[in-house]
Copies of this chain bind each other. A is one copy, B any other.
Protein backbone atom coordinates (compact mmCIF):
# COMPACT_ATOMS: atom_id res chain seq x y z
CA UNK A 1 0.00 0.00 0.00
CA UNK A 2 1.15 3.53 -0.78
CA UNK A 3 0.69 6.50 1.51
CA UNK A 4 0.84 10.30 1.46
CA UNK A 5 1.51 12.32 4.60
CA UNK A 6 1.02 16.05 4.99
CA UNK A 7 3.28 17.69 7.57
CA UNK A 8 3.16 21.22 8.89
CA UNK A 9 5.64 23.24 6.77
CA UNK A 10 4.26 26.30 4.93
CA UNK A 11 1.87 25.96 1.97
CA UNK A 12 4.22 28.18 -0.04
CA UNK A 13 6.47 25.12 -0.51
CA UNK A 14 3.74 22.65 -1.47
CA UNK A 15 3.94 21.13 -4.95
CA UNK A 16 1.42 22.88 -7.22
CA UNK A 17 -0.34 19.60 -8.00
CA UNK A 18 -0.82 18.56 -4.37
CA UNK A 19 -4.54 17.86 -4.84
CA UNK A 20 -3.86 15.63 -7.84
CA UNK A 21 -1.27 13.74 -5.79
CA UNK A 22 -3.74 13.19 -2.95
CA UNK A 23 -6.51 12.05 -5.28
CA UNK A 24 -4.09 9.59 -6.92
CA UNK A 25 -3.30 8.03 -3.53
CA UNK A 26 -7.00 7.79 -2.64
CA UNK A 27 -7.83 6.22 -6.01
CA UNK A 28 -5.38 3.39 -5.35
CA UNK A 29 -6.89 2.93 -1.86
CA UNK A 30 -3.72 4.27 -0.27
CA UNK A 31 -3.31 5.80 3.17
CA UNK A 32 -3.77 9.54 3.68
CA UNK A 33 -2.00 10.79 6.81
CA UNK A 34 -2.07 14.13 8.58
CA UNK A 35 0.77 14.95 10.95
CA UNK A 36 -0.38 17.41 13.60
CA UNK A 37 -1.51 20.63 11.84
CA UNK A 38 -1.18 18.73 8.55
CA UNK A 39 -4.44 16.95 9.47
CA UNK A 40 -6.27 20.26 9.47
CA UNK A 41 -4.58 21.42 6.26
CA UNK A 42 -5.82 18.23 4.56
CA UNK A 43 -9.37 18.98 5.69
CA UNK A 44 -9.03 22.54 4.40
CA UNK A 45 -8.02 21.09 1.01
CA UNK A 46 -11.20 18.97 1.09
CA UNK A 47 -9.75 15.61 2.16
CA UNK A 48 -10.24 13.53 5.30
CA UNK A 49 -7.07 11.83 6.54
CA UNK A 50 -7.27 8.09 7.29
CA UNK A 51 -4.72 8.53 10.07
CA UNK A 52 -3.88 11.62 12.13
CA UNK A 53 -0.82 11.76 14.41
CA UNK A 54 0.17 14.59 16.72
CA UNK A 55 -0.20 16.37 20.02
CA UNK A 56 -2.41 18.90 18.19
CA UNK A 57 -1.46 21.54 20.75
CA UNK A 58 -1.23 24.27 18.10
CA UNK A 59 -4.84 23.66 17.06
CA UNK A 60 -7.86 25.59 18.33
CA UNK A 61 -10.50 23.51 20.12
CA UNK A 62 -12.96 23.64 17.21
CA UNK A 63 -10.21 22.65 14.80
CA UNK A 64 -9.32 19.59 16.87
CA UNK A 65 -13.01 18.74 17.22
CA UNK A 66 -13.29 18.65 13.44
CA UNK A 67 -10.40 16.19 13.22
CA UNK A 68 -11.89 14.07 16.00
CA UNK A 69 -15.27 13.95 14.27
CA UNK A 70 -13.96 12.91 10.85
CA UNK A 71 -10.76 10.90 11.22
CA UNK A 72 -11.06 7.14 11.84
CA UNK A 73 -7.63 6.59 13.42
CA UNK A 74 -6.16 9.31 15.64
CA UNK A 75 -2.92 8.71 17.55
CA UNK A 76 -2.15 11.27 20.23
CA UNK A 77 1.51 11.95 20.90
CA UNK A 78 2.91 13.27 24.16
CA UNK A 79 4.64 16.67 23.87
CA UNK A 80 8.27 16.83 25.04
CA UNK A 81 8.67 13.15 24.25
CA UNK A 82 11.66 11.42 22.68
CA UNK A 83 10.09 10.81 19.27
CA UNK A 84 8.83 13.61 17.04
CA UNK A 85 5.31 13.41 15.59
CA UNK A 86 6.83 12.58 12.21
CA UNK A 87 8.91 9.75 13.68
CA UNK A 88 5.80 8.33 15.38
CA UNK A 89 3.92 8.64 12.11
CA UNK A 90 6.61 6.63 10.28
CA UNK A 91 6.39 3.90 12.88
CA UNK A 92 2.59 3.65 12.56
CA UNK A 93 2.65 3.91 8.77
CA UNK A 94 5.25 1.20 8.22
CA UNK A 95 4.63 -1.11 11.21
CA UNK A 96 0.82 -0.92 11.60
CA UNK A 97 -0.25 -0.13 8.04
CA UNK A 98 2.68 -1.89 6.29
CA UNK A 99 3.11 0.83 3.68
CA UNK A 100 5.59 0.04 0.96
CA UNK A 101 6.00 3.70 -0.07
CA UNK A 102 5.30 7.04 1.58
CA UNK A 103 5.35 10.53 0.03
CA UNK A 104 5.77 13.27 2.62
CA UNK A 105 4.68 16.82 1.72
CA UNK A 106 5.33 19.71 4.12
CA UNK A 107 8.56 18.16 5.43
CA UNK A 108 10.72 20.93 3.93
CA UNK A 109 10.81 24.72 4.17
CA UNK A 110 9.56 26.96 6.96
CA UNK A 111 11.46 26.49 10.21
CA UNK A 112 14.62 24.83 8.96
CA UNK A 113 15.50 23.12 12.24
CA UNK A 114 12.31 21.12 11.58
CA UNK A 115 13.35 20.35 8.01
CA UNK A 116 16.75 19.13 9.21
CA UNK A 117 15.08 17.01 11.90
CA UNK A 118 13.07 15.31 9.15
CA UNK A 119 16.11 14.90 6.91
CA UNK A 120 18.47 13.54 9.56
CA UNK A 121 15.89 11.25 11.23
CA UNK A 122 16.42 8.79 8.36
CA UNK A 123 20.00 8.29 9.59
CA UNK A 124 18.86 7.06 13.02
CA UNK A 125 19.19 3.27 13.30
CA UNK A 126 15.50 2.88 14.22
CA UNK A 127 14.29 4.75 11.10
CA UNK A 128 17.05 4.07 8.57
CA UNK A 129 15.29 0.90 7.42
CA UNK A 130 12.40 3.04 6.07
CA UNK A 131 14.69 5.41 4.15
CA UNK A 132 14.35 3.78 0.72
CA UNK A 133 10.53 3.80 0.98
CA UNK A 134 10.23 7.55 1.58
CA UNK A 135 10.04 10.57 -0.71
CA UNK A 136 9.96 14.21 0.44
CA UNK A 137 8.18 16.35 -2.11
CA UNK A 138 7.86 20.14 -2.36
CA UNK A 139 7.43 22.91 -4.92
CA UNK A 140 10.88 22.48 -6.42
CA UNK A 141 12.38 19.31 -4.97
CA UNK A 142 11.95 15.56 -4.74
CA UNK A 143 14.15 13.81 -2.15
CA UNK A 144 14.70 10.07 -2.28
CA UNK A 145 16.99 8.15 0.04
CA UNK A 146 19.33 5.24 -0.58
CA UNK A 147 21.36 2.95 1.63
CA UNK A 148 24.57 1.26 0.45
CA UNK A 149 24.35 -0.79 -2.72
CA UNK A 150 23.80 -0.17 -6.42
CA UNK A 151 20.76 1.85 -7.50
CA UNK A 152 19.25 2.97 -10.79
CA UNK A 153 17.99 6.54 -10.35
CA UNK A 154 15.27 7.42 -12.83
CA UNK A 155 14.58 10.98 -13.98
CA UNK A 156 11.28 12.35 -12.77
CA UNK A 157 9.15 14.17 -15.29
CA UNK A 158 9.74 17.95 -15.31
CA UNK A 159 12.79 17.81 -13.06
CA UNK A 160 15.96 19.20 -14.64
CA UNK A 161 18.75 18.85 -12.10
CA UNK A 162 19.83 16.49 -9.38
CA UNK A 163 22.14 16.55 -6.39
CA UNK A 164 23.69 13.55 -4.68
CA UNK A 165 23.97 14.16 -0.94
CA UNK A 166 25.97 11.79 1.29
CA UNK A 167 24.47 12.35 4.74
CA UNK A 168 27.01 10.44 6.86
CA UNK A 169 30.17 8.39 6.28
CA UNK A 170 29.89 7.28 2.65
CA UNK A 171 32.53 5.26 0.83
CA UNK A 172 33.28 4.39 -2.78
CA UNK A 173 30.46 6.45 -4.24
CA UNK A 174 30.20 6.32 -8.02
CA UNK A 175 27.85 8.12 -10.39
CA UNK A 176 27.75 6.58 -13.87
CA UNK A 177 25.79 7.85 -16.87
CA UNK A 178 25.12 11.45 -15.76
CA UNK A 179 26.43 14.80 -16.98
CA UNK A 180 29.10 14.74 -14.27
CA UNK A 181 30.22 11.22 -13.45
CA UNK A 182 32.18 10.39 -10.32
CA UNK A 183 34.43 7.44 -9.39
CA UNK A 184 34.99 6.01 -5.91
CA UNK A 185 34.34 9.19 -3.93
CA UNK A 186 34.49 8.86 -0.14
CA UNK A 187 33.55 11.35 2.57
CA UNK A 188 33.48 11.33 6.35
CA UNK A 189 31.36 14.49 6.55
CA UNK A 190 27.99 15.27 4.95
CA UNK A 191 28.35 16.97 1.60
CA UNK A 192 25.97 17.99 -1.19
CA UNK A 193 27.21 17.33 -4.73
CA UNK A 194 24.71 19.62 -6.41
CA UNK A 195 23.75 20.80 -9.92
CA UNK A 196 24.29 17.54 -11.75
CA UNK A 197 22.01 16.67 -14.70
CA UNK A 198 20.64 13.63 -16.47
CA UNK A 199 22.00 13.10 -19.98
CA UNK A 200 19.50 14.17 -22.62
CA UNK A 201 19.53 10.74 -24.26
CA UNK A 202 19.10 8.82 -21.00
CA UNK A 203 16.46 8.96 -18.31
CA UNK A 204 18.53 7.37 -15.55
CA UNK A 205 21.97 7.14 -13.99
CA UNK A 206 23.63 4.50 -11.85
CA UNK A 207 24.53 5.30 -8.24
CA UNK A 208 26.59 2.97 -6.08
CA UNK A 209 28.35 3.17 -2.71
CA UNK A 210 29.46 0.72 -0.04
CA UNK A 211 28.58 2.42 3.28
CA UNK A 212 26.18 5.07 4.51
CA UNK A 213 23.00 6.84 3.41
CA UNK A 214 22.64 9.19 0.45
CA UNK A 215 19.81 11.54 -0.49
CA UNK A 216 19.20 12.10 -4.19
CA UNK A 217 17.44 15.43 -4.70
CA UNK A 218 15.85 16.03 -8.08
CA UNK A 219 15.06 19.71 -8.47
CA UNK A 220 13.70 22.30 -10.86
CA UNK A 221 13.59 26.06 -11.14
CA UNK A 222 10.21 27.72 -10.83
CA UNK A 223 9.42 30.71 -13.00
CA UNK A 224 6.57 32.00 -10.96
CA UNK A 225 6.26 32.19 -7.24
CA UNK A 226 3.58 30.12 -5.57
CA UNK A 227 0.16 31.68 -5.82
CA UNK A 228 -1.82 28.99 -4.01
CA UNK A 229 -3.77 27.76 -7.02
CA UNK A 230 -3.20 24.18 -5.98
CA UNK A 231 -4.36 21.61 -8.48
Binding site for B on A (CB under 8 A): 10-12, 80, 84, 108-114, 116-117, 119-120, 123-124, 138, 140-141, 143, 161-163, 165, 167-168, 180, 188-195, 217, 219-222, 225-226
Provided the pairs A221-B111, A225-B12 are in contact, do residues A168 and B190 lie with their beta carbons within 8 angstroms?
A: yes
B225 touches A163 (CB 8 A): no
A215 to chain B, nearest CB (A): 8
Closest to A111 in B: B219
Instruction: Tell me the smallest distance from the CB of A21 to a CB of chain B, in Å.
Output: 18
Q: Is the pair A117, B11 in contact by a Cβ cutoff of 8 Å?
A: no
Known contacts A80-B180, A112-B217, A168-B188, then 4 further A-B pairs from the complex at CB < 8 Å, ordered by chain A residue: A10-B225, A109-B109, A112-B141, A123-B189
B167 touches A190 (CB 8 A): yes
Contact A110 B140 (CB under 8 A): yes
* Set of chain B residues within 8 Å of A188, measured between Cβ atoms: 168
Contacts of A110 in B (CB 8 A): 140
The 8 closest A-B pairs by CB, nearest first: A113-B163, A116-B192, A113-B194, A111-B219, A117-B192, A113-B217, A123-B189, A117-B194
Are A225 and B192 interface neighbours, CB within 8 A?
Answer: no
For the complex, what is the distance from the CA of A168 to the CA of B188, rounded to whole Å?
A: 9
* Contact of A120 with B191 in the complex, beta carbons under 8 Å: yes
Q: Which residue of B lies closest to A162 (CB)?
A: B113
Q: How far is the CB of A18 from chain B (nearest CB, A)?
A: 15
Do residues B113 and A161 form an inter-chain contact, with CB atoms below 8 A?
yes
Residues of B within 8 A of A221 (CB): 111
Q: How far is the CA of A195 from the CA of B58 in the complex (A)?
A: 13
Contact B163 A194 (CB under 8 A): no
Evaluate contact between B114 and A194: CB separation under 8 angstroms: yes
Q: Inside 8 A of A111's CB, which chain B residues have their CB?
A: 140-141, 161, 163, 194, 217, 219-221
- Return A177 CB to nearest CB of chain B, in Å: 17
